[in-house]
Amino acid sequence: MTTQIAVLPGDGIGPEITEQAERVLNSLGLDLSLVHANVGGAAYDSHGHPLPPETLELAKSSAAVLFGAVGDWKYDNLVRELRPEQAILGLRKALGLFANLRPAILYPQLANASTLKPEIVSGLDILILRELTGDIYFGQPRGVRVLEDGPFAGQKQGFDTMHYAESEVRRIAHVAFQAAQKRNKKLCSVDKANVLETSQFWRDIMIDVASEYPDVTLSHMYVDNAAMQLVRAPKEFDVIVTGNLFGDILSDEAAMLTGSIGMLPSASLNASNQGLYEPSHGSAPDIAGQNKANPLAMILSAAMLLRYSLNHDAHATRVENAVRTVLEQGLRTADIYEEGTQLVGTSEMGDAVLKALN
Ligand code: NAD
């Protein structure tokens, strides 16, 4: 049966890096139908909206969405609802994407790109799983109110509400344990259970769900300690699962351990493993259309698509190994170039990955 994938290249370098990922997907001999639609600024230009109904329908009816990047300075003066970035929020909401998976991998060949000592980060391969739809970012009530009593009576006060429902924690826990099963079977749940009720509740549910995954070792860490351990000994981690707020911060910290934004893929999944796959970087308008962009984060996003939405683990590994091979061959786009390596453009990097695949 043909599997439909929605391909939304978007803006800036989006189209050129997406093209390389499509070439990779098309070369695997799978029965895939890659269907294109506009998104972001490109969709605003053609349809007057960053996420037109046709694009949304295509995404909903596809097994997965391969998403390039959106945004350009020229859209900065649009009202918020029409800005390119709204397309991502709209897709997350419509598809119910609650689990954000961000691997932080540092290939030994790129160890010098990190600001940390090579021995700390070389060979790093961790996965951060962030809950994406709950927590203090969406909790109600929120706002600014005038206090009626207490030591600050009469003053205005800004406030937000942190909460997690049991089903919200259970579903991200299952994604986390299953992701750990596909890796080294070590899961660290990060919270602030020494201070926050929401975190203690989160921890209790994690422990409960763990009984269904006896092959995975579950540990817990307070978020302040996790932030330290990520720079002290990041290779101690395998999979980290955490809430929306802590995940927002820790996933960026982990990304920076690798030092190379052009190498980092990401996935956002819903309960039926339908997912949106995109590089962690933006649309890089400064280098768009110049054949300079690194397509590897996008190609690695396609590998995640194969693994998590299509369950083609072996093909995913093949693609990841092809990326390793081109790095071993010394090929580098400008963002990861260092002396003694060979500078190539976006399409040449794509060619090399294809060659390594076959
Ligand atoms: P950016 O990630 O686009 O670029 C930051 C820097 O990294 C730039 O110098 C860029 O040239 C470089 N870079 C990024 N990806 C690269 C790649 N694959 N290869 C080589 N170099 C690469 O971030 P920014 O400049 O802050 O934002 C640019 C636009 O992207 C903005 O409109 C922003 O809103 C948007 N953005 C979109 C997303 C998304 O689509 N998910 C994420 C972040 C930013």
> What pLDDT is recorded for position 299?
98
In the chain, domain spans:
1-98+270-358, 106-260
> What pLDDT is recorded for position 172?
97
Q: Is residue 248 annotated as part of the catalytic site, yes or no? A: yes
Q: Is residue 135 annotated as part of the catalytic site, yes or no? A: no
The answer to whether 59 and 92 have CB atoms below 8 angstroms apart is: no
CATH 3.40.718.10 for domain 1-98+270-358:
yes
Q: Is residue 252 annotated as part of the catalytic site, yes or no? A: yes
Q: How far, in Å, are 81, 208, 237 from residue 173 at the CA level?
A: 32, 10, 17
The answer to whether 133 and 168 have CB atoms below 8 angstroms apart is: yes
Asked if residue 255 has pLDDT above 90, the reply is no
The CATH number of the structural domain formed by 106-260 is: 3.40.718.10
330 pLDDT band, cuts 50/70/90, is: very high
The answer to whether 51 and 90 have CB atoms below 8 angstroms apart is: yes
How far apart, in whole angstroms, are the C-alpha atoms of residue 219 and residue 216? 10
How far apart, in whole angstroms, are the C-alpha atoms of residue 194 and residue 191? 9
Q: Is residue 238 lining ligand 1, measured as CB closer than 6 Å?
A: no
> What pLDDT is recorded for position 151?
95
Q: Is residue 72 lining ligand 1, measured as CB closer than 6 Å?
A: yes
Return the best residue to mutate from 73, 263, 281 for the ligand 1 pocket (most ligand atoms within 8 A of CB). 281
User: What would the pLDDT profile of 142-187 be if each residue is shown by its tens digit?
Assistant: 999 999 999 999 999 999 999 999 999 999 999 999 999 989 999 9
Q: Ligand 1 atom 44: the closest Cα is on which residue? A: 282
> What pLDDT is recorded for position 180?
96
**Beta-bridge mates of residue 276:** 65, 268
User: What would the pLDDT profile of 191-232 be if each residue is shown by its tens digit?
Assistant: 999 999 999 999 999 999 999 999 999 999 999 999 999 999
Q: Is residue 287 lining ligand 1, measured as CB closer than 6 Å?
A: yes
Q: What is the mean pLDDT of residues 233-257?
A: 94
Handedness of CA 82, 85, 86, 87 (dihedral sign): positive
Handedness of CA 20, 105, 263, 182 (dihedral sign): positive
Asked if residue 259 has pLDDT above 80, the reply is no
> What pLDDT is recorded for position 357?
96
Residues 6+ apart with CB under 8 A from 354: 23, 24, 27, 322
Placement of tokens 């109904």 in the chain: 53
Asked if residue 355 has pLDDT above 90, the reply is yes
Task: With H, G, I as helix, E, B as strand and everything else as coil, classify residue 152.
Answer: coil
> What pLDDT is recorded for position 26?
97
Residues 6+ apart with CB under 8 A from 127: 101, 102, 103, 104, 179, 183, 238, 239, 240
DSSP state at residue 203: H
**Percentage of the chain with pLDDT > 90?**
89
Q: Is residue 261 lining ligand 1, measured as CB closer than 6 Å?
A: yes
Task: With H, G, I as helix, E, B as strand and everything else as coil, classify residue 269.
Answer: strand
Give the Å distance between the CA of 283 and the centre of ligand 1.
4
Give the Å distance between the CA of 69 and the centre of ligand 1.
8
pTM: 0.90
Structure tokens at 67: 């998403």
Return the best residue to mutate from 110, 283, 298, 299 for the ligand 1 pocket (most ligand atoms within 8 A of CB). 283
Residue of 125, 160, 248, 351 marked active site? 248
Residue-wise over 180-213: b if at least 16 C-beta within 10 A, else e?
beeeeebbbbbbbbeebebbebbbebbeebbeeb
Q: How far, in Å, are 36, 115, 118, 263 from residue 259 at the CA level?
A: 32, 7, 11, 9
Structure tokens at 218: 């579950």
Give the Å distance between the CA of 282 and the centre of ligand 1.
3
> What pLDDT is recorded for position 114?
85
Picking from 201, 293, 353, the residue whose alpha carbon sits closest to that of residue 9 is: 293
Q: Ligand 1 atom 4: the closest Cα is on which residue? A: 284
User: What would the pLDDT profile of 298-322 be if each residue is shown by its tens digit?
Assistant: 999 999 999 999 999 999 999 999 9
User: What would the pLDDT profile of 30-50 be if each residue is shown by its tens digit?
Assistant: 999 999 999 999 999 999 999
Task: With H, G, I as helix, E, B as strand and everything else as coil, classify residue 3.
Answer: strand
The answer to whether 173 and 132 have CB atoms below 8 angstroms apart is: no
Asked if the peptide bond before residue 285 counts as cis, ω within 30 degrees of 0, the response is: no
Give the Å distance between the CA of 338 and the centre of ligand 1.
21
User: What would the pLDDT profile of 81-91 be if each residue is shown by its tens digit?
Assistant: 999 999 998 99
Q: Ligand 1 atom 43: the closest Cα is on which residue? A: 282
260 pLDDT band, cuts 50/70/90, is: confident
Q: Is residue 160 annotated as part of the catalytic site, yes or no? A: no
Q: Are strands 156-159 and 143-146 parallel, antiparallel or unpaired?
A: antiparallel
Average pLDDT, the chain: 95
Give the Å distance between the CA of 285 and the centre of ligand 1.
7
Q: What is the mean pLDDT of residues 81-110?
A: 93
